[in-house]
């Protein structure tokens, strides 16, 4: 069994990006620049945004963090986004989700300029992705493709089962794995809350991508010998074995399945770290497309 | 076995639309208006466009057919589309495909205003469809959903296998059948030219949607007893039993499978006639959204 080491891979990618930024600067071009908007003071959102800003610094990008009060109006946020859309010095813009309930997330995502939508959540980016046209691919699915690619895992003609149909992971990765691309060209089955006989379906999978958010959902009896498992789930559970009193576990019962699979992403340290790396990659792409 | 009668259903839909047009006019509103652009003199395209114009007349729509020479430039076509985009009296615009090779189809589709894209081919429509947001759904997949709906075929939790991943049928119907919608909520597997063990996969299907364009591809040994079959394929083959010397056959060997399935669309007279009905429905939607 081979661990798909997202932490190491993500670090490799950041090094590659950092080297490319240096070469851009050497050519007299400007650094990529990511702007992030954070509304309110949700603790988890704060952590995520800070990690993104830190990652920008690490690879030599400029970054701008716009902090806005919880109580701003939707109209105010729209105006802030339009300002950034028009600001030529900024290449990529993300609005950290979730937003306060009085703000319509869909409207906000639609306001972000498609050329700066490095989260890849804009419907036009999703449409282009679906049609296999150039687009920003949402960071988590992009991270999964990158792991499969770097570990040279064959996807062509393989049975890929995706558990979960969320708009940011399950649905886009199901589309991406079925596209006529490398990685891709899998026979994809998408499974969700209304599906039946989930165990039987999983047992057919050569590649199993799990993005349900249900701790330890996948067990050995659901697997074919030699399956490659991508575990996107992260659940925080109490633990008496850690200093913090908490630990993170995935949607897959790692210890139970480890001898059955050929490849597996650990949690933490699998798909998670890849996400920020892919956001940086999208930002680089946005920056270069303007040259 | 029950025949999913696309001819009758399509006729019912046209009657419903015609009644709605009369009621729109009674309320002092304008008729829906579809414009079609036909470039060159491809015989099949001519037939299709004429059928669409005829269908518009049948339900009381206004229609405009713009015929352009095979040798027009891409730039000229773009200008024609922009003119129609700006023309408030026109609700829907279709550009008959295929276009001559010197014209970039993707660019042309991207030029059509999303609000008038009643073919539903614009990437923004595809993205909105994927994200389960309001959008125009491409006519053939929309026709399949409509048939399933009108014949009250349960799709929730069913295994749906889609053969083919074309951007106008297989791919969108696979997305639509998996959405959290009615019809929808199926466990969807998308099968394509790179797939293996296609027979085994088909045998799991409760609903089998076939859009390969390979005559008589699906045979009895590939089916589960009681499957519902939607056959999108149309191939013209020589026949000594018809006056014309030709007949149309589907991707499914109808005579061979008829006793195994619970429902089946015939070819011709199944999905085909639904397509124009759904184009009319999209045009009505476009017209009403402007009110």
Residue with tokens 């859009």: B211
Q: How many domains does chain A have?
A: 2
Contact between A50 and A64 under an 8 Å Cβ cutoff? The reply is no
Identify the domain containing residue B81 by its residue range: 28-113
CB proximity A134 to B under 8 Å:
no
Q: What is the pLDDT of residues B272-285, one digit of tens each?
A: 999 999 999 999 99
Chain B residue closest to A120 (CA)?
B127
User: Quick one: B143 and B268 in the same domain?
Assistant: yes
Establish whether A288 is a catalytic residue.
no
How is A241-256 classified by DSSP, letter by letter? SSSSSEEEE-SB-HHH
Q: Which CATH number does the domain housing residue A160 bear?
A: 3.40.50.720
Answer whether residue A8 is part of any domain.
no
Contact A187 B196 (CB under 8 A): yes
Question: Chain B 62-81, CB below 8 Å of chain A: which residues?
Answer: none
d(Cα A44, Cα A66) in Å, to the nearest integer?
16
CB proximity B252 to A under 8 Å:
no
User: Quick one: A82 and A160 in the same domain?
Assistant: no
Q: Which CATH number does the domain housing residue A90 bear?
A: 3.40.50.10860
User: Quick one: A155 and A94 in the same domain?
Assistant: no
Answer whether residue A291 is part of any domain.
no
Average pLDDT in the A58-84 region? 98
CB proximity A108 to B under 8 Å:
no
Q: What is the pLDDT of residues A117-134, one digit of tens each?
A: 999 999 999 999 999 999
d(Cα B263, Cα A58) in Å, to the nearest integer?
60
User: Quick one: A37 and A154 in the same domain?
Assistant: no
- A290 versus A264: which is more confidently predicted? A264
Residue A253: is its pLDDT beyond 60?
yes
pLDDT more than 70, % of chain B: 99
Contact A126 B122 (CB under 8 A): no
Q: pTM score, two decimals?
A: 0.96
User: Quick one: B151 and B240 in the same domain?
Assistant: yes
SS3 B144: helix
Supply the ipTM of this predicted assembly: 0.95
Residue B20: is its pLDDT beyond 80?
yes
User: Quick one: B108 and B143 in the same domain?
Assistant: no
The whole-angstrom distance between A43's CA and the closest CA on chain B is 28
Q: What mean pLDDT value characterizes chain A?
A: 97
Establish whether A119 is a catalytic residue.
yes
User: Quick one: B147 and B251 in the same domain?
Assistant: yes
Answer whether residue A218 is part of any domain.
yes
Q: What mean pLDDT value characterizes chain B?
A: 97
User: Quick one: B79 and B143 in the same domain?
Assistant: no
Residue B128: is its pLDDT beyond 70?
yes
The C-alpha angle A213, A219, A224, rounded to 5 degrees, equals: 115
Contact A190 B194 (CB under 8 A): no
The whole-angstrom distance between A97's CA and the closest CA on chain B is 17
Q: Give Rg (Cα) of chain B.
A: 19
CB proximity B137 to A under 8 Å:
no
Average pLDDT in the A59-85 region? 98
Contacts of residue A126 in chain B, CB cutoff 8 Å? 126-127, 130-131
User: Quick one: B35 and B89 in the same domain?
Assistant: yes
Answer whether residue B84 is part of any domain.
yes
Average pLDDT in the B90-116 region? 97
Contact A192 B180 (CB under 8 A): yes
Nearest partner of A142 among A263, A277, A11, judged by Cα: A277
Residue B203: is its pLDDT beyond 90?
yes
User: Quick one: A176 and A259 in the same domain?
Assistant: yes
Answer whether residue A182 is part of any domain.
yes
User: Quick one: A161 and A93 in the same domain?
Assistant: no
Answer whether residue A97 is part of any domain.
yes
Answer whether residue A21 is part of any domain.
no
Answer whether residue B180 is part of any domain.
yes
Neighbours of A105 (CB within 10 A): 15
Contact B165 A180 (CB under 8 A): yes
């Amino acid at each position: 069994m081979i661990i798909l080491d997202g932490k190491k891979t993500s670090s490799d990618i950041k090094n590659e990006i950092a080297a490319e930024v240096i070469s851009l600067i050497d050519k007299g071009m400007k650094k990529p620049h990511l702007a992030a908007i954070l509304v309110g003071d949700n603790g988890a959102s704060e952590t995520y945004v800070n990690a993104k800003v830190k990652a920008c610094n690490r690879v030599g990008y400029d970054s701008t963090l716009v902090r806005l009060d919880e109580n701003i109006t939707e109209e105010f946020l729209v105006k802030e986004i339009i300002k950034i859309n028009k600001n030529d010095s900024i290449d990529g813009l993300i609005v950290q989700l979730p937003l306060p309930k009085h703000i319509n997330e869909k409207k906000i995502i639609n306001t972000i300029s498609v050329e700066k939508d490095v989260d890849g959540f804009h419907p036009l980016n999703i449409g282009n992705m679906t049609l296999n046209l150039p687009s920003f691919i949402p960071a988590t699915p992009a991270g999964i493709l990158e792991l499969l690619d770097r570990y040279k895992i064959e996807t062509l003609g393989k049975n890929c089962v995706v558990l979960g149909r969320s708009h940011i992971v399950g649905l886009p990765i199901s589309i991406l794995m079925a596209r006529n691309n490398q990685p891709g060209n899998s026979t994809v089955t998408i499974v969700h809350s209304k599906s039946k006989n989930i165990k039987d379906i999983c047992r057919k999978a050569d590649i199993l991508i799990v993005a349900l958010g249900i701790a330890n959902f996948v067990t050995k009896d659901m697997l074919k010998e030699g399956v490659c498992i991508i575990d996107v789930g992260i659940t925080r559970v109490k633990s008496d074995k850690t200093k913090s009193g908490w630990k993170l576990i995935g949607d897959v019962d790692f210890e139970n399945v480890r001898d059955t699979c050929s490849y597996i992403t650990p949690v933490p340290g699998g798909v998670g770290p890849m996400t920020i790396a892919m956001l940086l990659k999208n930002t680089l792409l946005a920056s270069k497309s303007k040259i």
